[in-house]
Amino acid sequence: MVREGKPDFNLTLMSLTIINLIKQVPLPSEMRMGEDGLMDRTKAKSIINIDCQFALEAGLQLKKQYPDARMIACSMGPTSFEPSLRKAISLGYDEVYLLSDRKLGGSDTYATGMSIACMLQHLGFTKDSKEPFIVIAGRQTSDGDTAHVPSQVAEYLGIPQATFVESIKADGKGNIIAKRIIEGGYQMMKLPMPCAISIAPTGISPRKPSLIGAIKARNSSLTVFSADDVKVDTTKVGINGSPTIVANVVNMVSERPPVMLSAGHSETALVDSLIANIKGGGNVMGEKASTAEKVTEAPADFPVTDIRNGAKGIITWAELANGKITRPSLELLTPARKLADELGNDTKIMTVLIGKNVKSLATQLFEHGSDEVIVVEDDRLEEYLVLPRLYRTFDRRLCQQKTKSSCPAYSSLPSSDLR
């Protein structure tokens, strides 16, 4: 079937292009945040983000179906990202591109997604491209942990997307078949190309570079673009252009001292030590000596603008798994209540409960802090699908006209991925 307004791709897909978005991140053990709220990368050792490594492998697996596919790896960051891009070549990718410009420094996920999309468009990849392509990325990065960028790139390009995907394959008819992880199982999805996929770190383990690949990477060229090259609107990127404002950064430190359960060099010694500690009560939880908390004050000229236009209230979404409200959805109501109290002015919490035969679960939400629960029941909502829930959650008649809520809050789980 030819989709109206869409290219009719050749079923052989000999011209398929596989684009992989990767990021170089600090080792988790060496991550440090600067006082400005940005990641300090000056001294930390770096690697290709773990999820991105799985995405690189997913692209190589797809190439097995189409050996003539064009393989591209792209990244955005400082020139120190070059080793990671060269590693992509050593694994089997053909071309690498880096978007690097000081104007992009400090960009949030919104600005990053827009900038990467501009780079892809500069390379000729748009939703109206005559040749099929697929954009693959890791689910999320260890330094940001938002999982926003793959979806934002897809949104800017105007192409279909699937998130939390474990494996992909092409059906030879211009579509990608994706196995998507959800709570309690998985979904099989069919996406028309061009499309974007974010890969979870549960698929085929990443391969190691070959000797021939390493030699090829050493002799290959790297193309570096500036913000002006790809025609990025520089007023919407960087620290000043990004809509996200880092108000404060806190290093989480445990207030409890280490607990020694048992010690010994044999099983017998370990068991005896454990029993002795239990009987002696030597492992009583204590608290470390409190230290003065460093208070970061906002600059005197820090702009404060109320953009709510009279809207108030907090809206949350109750996620379901196996017929029950998930624990994160209930836990989310605690910070929501704290935020409501801080906002004052009788700020209310409204929770949207969507599914089949779910009305009886509303009581549990009231018990955990919701002021109002809106129930949407339909037999067709028994299985989790993104778009029906997205439309119901953000229905103007359902939410905006009723409460004019200004702050939506969601728990971060695979099946709650509304991004």
Q: What CATH number does residue 203 fall under? A: 3.40.50.620
Residues 6+ apart with CB under 8 A from 151: 113, 161, 163, 196, 198, 419
361, pLDDT greater than 80: yes
In this predicted structure, what is the pLDDT of residue 4?
A: 44
Q: How many CA atoms lie within 13 A of 349 on its CB side?
A: 26
Cβ atoms 147, 141 nearer than 8 A = no
CA 129 to CA 125: how far, in whole Å?
6
The answer to whether 374 and 354 have CB atoms below 8 angstroms apart is: no
CB 206 within 8 A of CB 54: yes
**For residue 302, pLDDT beyond 80:** no
Q: Using the CB atoms, write b or e for 372-384: b if 16+ within 10 Å.
A: bbbbbeeeebeeb
Note whether 327 and 208 are same-domain residues.
Answer: no
pLDDT in tens, 79-104: 999 999 999 999 999 999 999 999 99
Q: Which CA distances in Å does 394 have to 152, 170, 404?
A: 18, 33, 11
Looking at the fold, whether 92 and 180 belong to one and the same domain comes out as yes
Rounded Cα distance, 371 and 413, in Å: 24
Q: Do 231 and 107 sit in the same domain of this protein? A: yes
pLDDT (0 to 100) of residue 54: 95
Q: Are residues 235 and 115 in the same domain?
A: yes
Q: What is the mean pLDDT of residues 137-161?
A: 91
Report the candidate in 197, 69, 185, 59 with the shortest Cα–Cα distance to residue 131.
69
Domain boundary, last residue among 210, 241, 272: 241
Residue 418, pLDDT above cutoff 50: no
Residue 383 in domain: yes
Residue 335: CB atoms within 10 Å: 13
**Would you state the pLDDT for residue 419?**
40
What does the pLDDT look like over 247-262, one tens digit per residue? 777 767 767 677 778 8
Residues 322 and 182 in one domain: no
pTM: 0.68
Tokens of 346: 């009788």
- Residue 128 and residue 33 share a domain: yes
Specify the pLDDT at position 396: 46
Whether residue 195 is contained in a domain is answered as yes
Q: Are 97 and 211 found together in one domain? A: yes
Residues 26 and 164 in one domain: yes
Mean pLDDT of 180-204: 90
Amino acid 406: pLDDT? 57
Q: Are 262 and 273 in contact (CB under 8 A)?
A: yes
Average pLDDT, the chain: 82
Domain membership of residue 145 (yes or no) is: yes
**Do 230 and 88 share a structural domain?**
yes
**Rg of the chain over all Cα atoms, to the nearest angstrom:** 25
pLDDT band of residue 312 (cuts 50, 70, 90) is confident
- pLDDT for 126: 94
* 261 assigned to some structural domain: no
Domain final position from 196, 212, 241: 241
pLDDT of residue 282: 56
Position 82 scores a pLDDT of 93
Domain boundary among 207, 241, 275: 241
Does residue 266 lie in a domain region? Answer: no
Indicate the SS3 state at residue 116. helix
Task: Give the Cα separation of 115 and 104 in Å (integer).
Answer: 8
Is there a domain that residue 118 lies in?
yes
Mean pLDDT of 379-389: 64
| Sequence-separated (6 or more) residues with CB below 8 Å from residue 14 | 66, 68
**Res 409 pLDDT > 70:** no
Within a domain: residue 246? Answer: no
Q: In what order do the strands lie in the sheet with 95-99?
A: 185-192, 175-182, 161-170, 195-199, 133-138, 17-21, 70-76, 95-99, 223-225
**Count of the separate structural domains present in the chain:** 2
Its domain, for residue 48, covers 17-241
Is the residue at 295 inside a domain? no
- For the cut 50, the answer to whether the pLDDT of residue 415 exceeds it is no
Same domain, 205 and 325: no
